[in-house]
Structure 1
């Protein structure tokens, strides 16, 4: 309702014009009646006068209908525009946990075909109802001409109304099923397109095609079921008003023979009955539109009614970078427990490496720090204040995170690096790329910094994507930087060059490094060993290596994974 009311004057103008057009339209059969009776039967008036009047009314109706249609379509597009913005603005407020539980294809379907179904109904539903009011106008005029014949002509209308209610009940569940199965197909296509490299790598194209065909078959069954329902109800709803033609001819003919009415009246009544057919044809379409829109609206409400558990704070203060994880416990939305009362302090300007086995909870620390998720228990504090007190925009502008799987947009490399600062001058973009070790390979590309990368950056290697992601984080110059295994896809020689640049950039900056390589630990002032979601050791690399066998065991496992890098790592750590 708020979306419709936002465009009420546009919609009212369209509906008012449609109403005026109907008033003009219903006058034409009456003019035909008068013209036949006066000019042809009684021969007391000129036929030419009525011909010109009818032509003038037709032209006026055409102009009015043109304007009404134009404003109606404009209303439809405005409503669709608003609905998409409402849904998208809600989606961008949703926390990471929401996206852990929903499928991309489902959201695409709800923001695409579901919104279109609601838009069609909101825009065209009122217009169809206005068109159906022609029955009222026609009935009033028929009553003014001949009451018994008017009642006979409209005798089928109550039956039409009852059948419309039954048709509505029959179509709704099928409409819901259609929208749900459209969403399943969208999900399947989305996963196959995004995962096409895996599909081809395992030669499972035929299996995926079979899966898609299965989903399409289920959708086809739903469409067939809808077609069966519509093929029964729609012709019935359309045909009933036509019975009025036979009744008018039968009873009207008797009345003409008995001298109770005129031939012109029968012609006019036939025209009025014919006028009722398009509205009732549209009434069948309105029932279909309303049920599909109702199903789609419920699916959209499922998203809009999902409340975010990440509530924006009010503090906008600049950060120094003093971090304190205060007995933090955390469980992911799907039930995976990541942290169990973890306590850790990182002083402002300190560089700390987080080391641990896979699944120990290392990456979760950065996600909680930037409030991608909120803690299940305990608190994460920045500069002595709970991160939940900060405005999300302020917090995320000052906590830069480089993930291990960087995402690049289908934009130029310059735009990808400047994503956090779109107005950044080229020299700053280049400096960030230099610090990330990306400038050399960027300049070798056909258009340099203006080269557009493919979807998700797949036209670049994994290491190149990571370097661009590092440059993107460095450009915003955050006081807190989280490198989540950000150099895992970069060869050791290039990594050492990046580390040399990062050492200068990390001076005075609080940095958390999730380390899966021994060489990365060389950047850190301290090393934290995390195990089962808890800090089990804290110290320098040499201290932990000498005193804690668990640390040595984790390093041994890391070395087994990356034997080719071990010699360089030992040199870096030395």
Structure 2
């Protein structure tokens, strides 16, 4: 049984003209009560902390210098304050980390939902490693700043309270202690401007490393078959060297500016010791007061000690957020029209009407392609490689939109139908089946997680998969490896066919779906496929004569156009190109077979 999880509490502000923080603000606002409670408790803890120097001042003046009050009196006050700080600090951190976890949950769900809504053209131009990096390290960088920057700012508020107490002790001394602060502000601004481009570069180059790793993990069989480990390692080293260079540059800038930002307040401490000491020597200021003043000055340094890290975190988060927004601001090219309708009672009447299509800005793959599949008819698309057979199969479920012309189901242009109802109507088995790292049962039931086992077994038998599944170590409960690579190509294709058949779609597209299946096994499953095609509109992208024999009609493509249409016997007798295409396909199959032997 699949668990359901709550949706994100808020969404990113869609206005790209706003700052990255303002766009992310709805996420913080969604958890404002938890955040507010954490910050209030943090502020309360801070207010207790600033009382400690004042208590020490009174202890020195009243218990040590004049012996008017027992020292134990102040000791118990310090113990009580410590207990308060312990409890309040615990609650503050507990709430803060809970809020941080919820922000991260929201961000990850927002990004994942957006990625699932994106169209095939988006994934054609984006590298998976780049997307993985943005969905992991970039999200974490943004979450860290959104959650912990407010906490650090509240903690930095201790400087204002400390300065107020310093003014209460001695106004001229407090003003002298603050003289280095304007210089510190200028240095902080220079540090911020220097760190931003480097932070962006680090995030981008981390994504490059993720891309190299992702491609090598997913393509490990290709890498090993070509003994290309050393060259791939060199590629990774090159990408890692770029990251190292950017990190060294970042460290260089931080080493240059952070000590200056953190140590400028110590100039104020030197001034306090010089002038404050003069006041104590001349009896104008008590010993306890100068001790308290120095303690407050140390507290005043806390914000400046963290400001370097806060600036660095802010710049890295800004770069990460803008990289995330680059993805989130992308609009799906294939989306439901505002007035999209559902398909009701689909009959399976499919029509391609003068279709022209090409990928991206490339040349047209299909040119004036027109074809009708009548309800219940099985049609095979045949042609040389690159003639547009698979492209036509991808246009029917609207993986891509046509440049000109139209594709329709039951008289409705697919662009006027909801994607969900269209893809419920049109089932697709691709030539490169993707299986998940889950059990065989779960892979077959992917489209219907609540399907009965009897239905799962029935479609597995129709697809010719039941026999080999029962021979696996745990049968249908056997967990297959990532992408299904623990199975043969033919076994993966049969599971993919079963997965689609379980949905019982009125229109079925088999994009060379039996290419990796042994010819003898293919013959065995043909009986099941023939019974399955009965009453179902089926488009088959085919190369093998055995697969073509399943079709009622054969359509020959060349140069993106239909050049012949008829039965296998009619085309064989009337169209020399058809016989030539079949001969080339047979030669290819024989060559592959000899390589396999």
Tell me the TM-score normalised to structure 2 length.
0.93
Structure 1, residues 353-379: CA drift from partner, whole Å, max 9, x if none? 001110111111121111111111111
Unaligned segments of structure 1, at least 5 residues: 567-574
Which secondary structure does the structure 1 equivalent of 2:367 belong to?
Answer: strand
Gaps of 5+ in 2: 1-24
1:215 positional shift: 1.0
| SS across alignment from 1:476 | coil
Query: Is 1:19 paired with 2:43?
Result: yes
1:176-191 mapped onto 2 (5 Å cutoff): 176-191=200-215
Aligned mates of 1:334, 1:408 — CA distance in 2: 31
1:79 maps to what in 2? 103
Is residue 237 from structure 1 mapped to residue 264 from structure 2 by the alignment? Answer: no
- What secondary structure is seen at the aligned counterpart in 2 of 1:482? strand
- 1:303 matched to 2:327? The reply is yes
CA distance in 1, matches of 2:363, 2:240: 34
Q: Quick one: distance in 2 between partners of 1:161 and 1:15? A: 25
For 1:93-104, list aligned pairs within 5 A: 93-104=117-128
> Does the 8 A contact of 2:571 with 2:578 survive in 1?
yes
Shift of 1:336: 4.5
1:207 Cα offset (Å):
0.9
Q: Distance in 2 between matches of 1:155 and 1:564?
A: 84
Out of 562, 565, 570, which is 1:543 matched to? 570
Mapped pair 1:352 → 2:379: yes
Shift of 1:564: 8.2
Which of 398, 416, 425 is residue 389 of structure 1 equivalent to?
A: 416
Q: Is the CA contact (8 Å cut-off) linking 2:202 and 2:246 kept in structure 1?
A: yes
1:559 aligns with 2:574: no
Match of 2:296 among 272, 277, 281: 272
**Alpha-carbon deviation of 1:473?**
0.7
Shift of 1:552: 2.1
Aligned-residue offset at 1:554:
1.6
| Rounded Cα–Cα distance in structure 2 between residues aligned with 1:544 and 1:450 | 46
2:343 paired residue number = 317
CA distance in 2: counterparts of 1:444 and 1:97, whole angstroms: 40
Instruction: Give yes or no for contact 2:209–2:236 (8 Å, CA) kept in 1.
Output: yes
Structure 2 residue matching 1:358: 3-state secondary structure? coil
Are 2:398 and 1:374 aligned? no
**Contact persistence 1:492–1:565 (CA under 8 A):** no
CA distances 1:503-542 after superposition (whole Å, capped 9, x unpaired): 1111000000001111111111111111111111111111
Match of 1:569 in 2: none
Is the contact between residue 334 and residue 401 of structure 2 (CA under 8 Å) also seen in structure 1?
yes
Question: Contact 1:31–1:50 at 8 Å: present in 2 too?
Answer: yes
- Give distance in 1, aligned partners of 2:145 and 2:405: 48
- CA root-mean-square deviation: 1.4
Q: Distance in 2 between matches of 1:530 and 1:68?
A: 69
2:174 matched residue in structure 1: 150
CA shift for structure 1 position 72: 1.1
Question: 1:236-280 CA deviation, whole Å, 9 max, x = no partner?
Answer: 222122222221111111112222211111100111111123322
Match of 2:50, SS state, is helix
- Hey, what's the Cα distance between the residues in 2 that align with 1:278 and 1:135? 8
CA distance in 2 between partners of 1:193 and 1:103 (Å): 14
Q: TM-score normalised to the size of structure 1?
A: 0.96
Which of 553-562 and 145-154 deviates more? 553-562
Cα deviation for residue 54 of structure 1 reads: 2.2
| Residue 421 (str. 1) matches residue 448 (str. 2) | yes
1:465 and 2:465 matched? no
Identify which of 47, 50, 54 aligns with 2:78.
Answer: 54
**Secondary structure of 1:360's match?**
coil
Distance in 2, matches of 1:231 and 1:336, equals: 53
- Aligned positions of 1:111-150 closer than 5 A: 111-150=135-174
Give me the whole-angstrom Cα distance separating, in 2, the residues matched to 1:76 and 1:539: 64
Q: Secondary structure at the match of 2:572?
A: helix
Q: 2:482 aligns with which of 455, 473, 476?
A: 455
Q: Is the 8 A contact 1:100 1:334 kept in 2?
A: no
Which residue in the other structure is 2:369 paired with? 342
Shift of 1:563: 4.1
- 1:326 Cα deviation after fit: 1.2
State how far apart, in whole Å, the 2-side matches of 1:76 and 1:333 are.
40
